[in-house]
Amino acid sequence: MSGESRYPILSQIQSPAQLHDLDRQQLKQLAGEVRQAILDNVSKTGGHFASNLGTVELTVALYATYKIPPDKVCWDTGHQAYPHKLLTGRLDKFDGLRKYGGISGFLRMCESEHDHWGAGHACTAISGALGYAVARDRLKTTERVVAISGDAAMTGGMAWEALNNAAQLNTDITVVLNDNKMSIAENVGALTHHFAKLRSRPWFASAEETAKKFVERFPKAIQKAASGMKHSVTHYFAPEDTGAIFEELGFQYIGPIDGHNLDVLLDVFANVRDLKGPVFVHCITVKGKGYEVAEEDARKWHGVVPFDPDLCEMPKSAGPVSYTQVFGDTILALAKEDPEIVAITAAMPDGTGLTKFSKELPNQYFDVGIAEQHAVTFCAGLAAGGLKPACAIYSTFLQRGYDQVLHDVAIQNLPVRFFMDRGGLVGADGATHHGAFDISYLMFIPNMVIAAPRDTTELAEMIRFAMDYSEAPIAVRYPRGAADDTLPESRTPIRLGKGELIKEGSDIALIGYGSTVAMGHKAALELSKQGVDAAVFNARFAKPLDADAIIELARKTGRMIVAEENAKPGGIGEAIAALLRENGLSQVHIDTLALPDRFIEHGSQNELLEEIGLTPAKIVERAASLCNQRSMR
């Protein structure tokens, strides 16, 4: 069926402004088409699923009442903004969602003029929207500004820093809370109890009720914005104390509202748009709405691989064991033996492999919410207090806890063990999620030990090493997915600052770190067919480097290629070049293959590695070229 016949209204929509021409019946039909388009497309491409089914009516109602453009909407994180994409002219691009060269799975200011805020990391929308609002005030324009945040995004400190500031600035801004009770897993923390309390209050149920409740709650605001009331107001009740924490912070709290009742949403947003000052609208939504199995198990359906929508089942992946699984199994086994081991996640139990741990050892497990900064400093405190914290975190999300790593962990030299998943290119999630910088951002920090395993077996050994190591903080980084299991099985034990020579060679040394060790080994096999005798070295530690072994290889071969799945500036290649310089070996040819100094988009991991030239074939090409130059040993 063509887009036009399957989505008769949606296929005509290029801009949210067109929603103003639709009546309520048509808007309801449009919402149905948006939901259908999400199911049709995401079941083919994979991507974020359940959260998007929950924001359909919210988005339709908001865009039918706000004037976009010029009004601005900042979506938090952006993984739940597929309805926004569909209502801003991207229906025909959805088959390329998260694919190489296709549209992003998040919002990007460079992708559409309607993407007012780009993200991928959570908790930023309110700050961004507040900036927009203040810029509007200064530049004397009149657009409205809205931030939409999930309930889990409210567990992050940044959201509260922004609310605190918004109330002080007292500018016109609307924060919409999309409360579906879920993070990726169940939401956590005291705030979820507060939301539950608010949810238990009577809801805005009808147009008349909406008008009435506006007066109940906002006698002063209503006076100021009387012209904004879109429905006649027949009752006046004394304001109730809603007890909402947001009111204490200076926001006008409206809610709870059924986030799937289009009539109520339209009425509420039509009124809210004209309210003055900071307004907080609490919408209750259902993650997975409209697709039964996703409603029942929203955690499983948060992110999906392609599936058959009629079967209502996600295919099980029967691939090789992933780094994440090995981390989860190993840390669980160690923690069962040692009650001082505690595992910490910032809202990512599934992604980091800690789900089983959380069930089997709940007393040694902490999910702190989307609060990476707190997670890191909490770990510092746990370590100072005598426990052995294992902080399981994605490389990209540790960026948010950077000062905490430096100031709370490293300066105090506390033995926090960081297990950094998704180091290197992650694929479809793209620029906001690649673990492209961790070697660099940790390299500069005194006391840090930085390690990466060549495969999953080595990861298990490194975890044991790290949990036993109590002299300083240590970070072990590993990539998304499974290991390239082509390396020879012989192994040497892990020792601090010591690498592993995997293959002897006299013409050139190929130095790998983590995922690039196997690339170097493949390249060496190919080079030997071309008559080039390449040594392969597994660096294991970016800090401290195995200086003796690297200097010896440099002296022996006079040529080196360092490959790393990390940005070149500040990476291991630079560290090795400096080591050689400091040891009078500046004449050694050294070439580094690393991530280029630009943000890398989305696509499969292999497509992206191919694009940037971080492959065995590229190592062969560069090595052959270096070997054609005069030896400089």
Ligand X SMILES: Cc1ncc(C[n+]2csc(CCOP(=O)(O)OP(=O)(O)O)c2C)c(N)n1
Given the residues 85, 217, 273, 372, the one annotated as active site? 372
User: In this structure, which amino acid lies at residue 605?
Assistant: Q
Based on CB atoms, which residue is closest to ligand X, 55 or 615?
A: 55
Residue of the chain from 85, 121, 217, 282 that contacts ligand X (CB under 6 A) = 121
Check residue 400 for interaction with ligand X (CB under 6 A).
yes
User: The tokens 């790290």 sit on which residue?
Assistant: 466
Q: Is the peptide bond before 544 cis (omega within 30 degrees of 0)?
A: yes
Check residue 401 for interaction with ligand X (CB under 6 A).
no
Angle, CA 47 vertex, CA 482 and CA 597 arms, to 5°? 65
A 10 A CB-CB count for 622 gives 20
Nearest distance in Å: CB 283, ligand X: 11
Nearest distance in Å: CB 428, ligand X: 14
Helix (H, G, I), strand (E, B) or coil at 477: strand
Based on CB atoms, which residue is closest to ligand X, 398 or 509?
A: 398
- With CB under 6 A as the contact rule, which of the stretches 132-140, 147-155, 315-323, 494-502 interacts with ligand X? 147-155
For residue 214 the two structure tokens come to: 């506006």
- Residues contacting residue 562 through CB under 8 Å, at least 6 positions apart: 511, 512, 513, 572, 573, 576, 590, 591, 592, 593, 594
Based on CB atoms, which residue is closest to ligand X, 151 or 258?
A: 151
Active site residue 217: no
Question: What is the torsion angle, in degrees rounded to the nearest 10, for the CA atoms of residue 501, residue 504, residue 510 and residue 514?
Answer: -30
Active site residue 618: no
- With CB under 6 A as the contact rule, which of the stretches 176-184, 358-366, 374-382, 506-514 interacts with ligand X? 176-184
- With CB under 6 A as the contact rule, which of the stretches 1-9, 14-22, 77-85, 206-214 interacts with ligand X? 77-85
Based on CB atoms, which residue is closest to ligand X, 123 or 508?
A: 123
Check residue 122 for interaction with ligand X (CB under 6 A).
yes
Residue of the chain from 35, 72, 79, 454 that contacts ligand X (CB under 6 A) = 79
DSSP state of 550: H
Count interface residues toward ligand X (CB under 6 A): 23
CA 184 to each of CA 50, 173, 347, 363: distance values in angstroms, whole numbers, following the listed order: 10, 27, 7, 21
Question: Of 491-550, which residues contact ligand X (CB under 6 A)?
Answer: none
Based on CB atoms, which residue is closest to ligand X, 178 or 364?
A: 178
Residue of the chain from 182, 449, 494, 594 that contacts ligand X (CB under 6 A) = 182
Check residue 150 for interaction with ligand X (CB under 6 A).
yes
Nearest distance in Å: CB 122, ligand X: 4
Nearest distance in Å: CB 187, ligand X: 6
Active site residue 140: no
CA distance 573 to 439: 10
DSSP state of 239: P
Nearest distance in Å: CB 77, ligand X: 5
Based on CB atoms, which residue is closest to ligand X, 375 or 549?
A: 375
Based on CB atoms, which residue is closest to ligand X, 176 or 523?
A: 176
**Ramachandran sector of residue 497 (left: φ over 0; alpha: ψ -120 to 50; beta: rest):** left
> What is the full DSSP assignment across 38-98?
HHHHHHHH-EE-HHHHTTHHHHHHHHHHS-TTTSEEEESSSTT-HHHHHTTT-GGGGGGTT
- With CB under 6 A as the contact rule, which of the stretches 21-29, 162-170, 336-344, 345-353 interacts with ligand X? 345-353
A 10 A CB-CB count for 238 gives 6
Given the residues 35, 287, 454, 622, the one annotated as active site? 287
Check residue 184 for interaction with ligand X (CB under 6 A).
yes
User: In this structure, which amino acid lies at residue 152?
Assistant: A
Provide the β-strand partners of residue 389: 342
Q: Site residues (CB under 6 A) for ligand X?
A: 51, 77, 79-80, 121-122, 150-153, 178, 180, 182-184, 287, 346-348, 370, 372, 397, 400
Cite the active site residues. 287, 372, 400
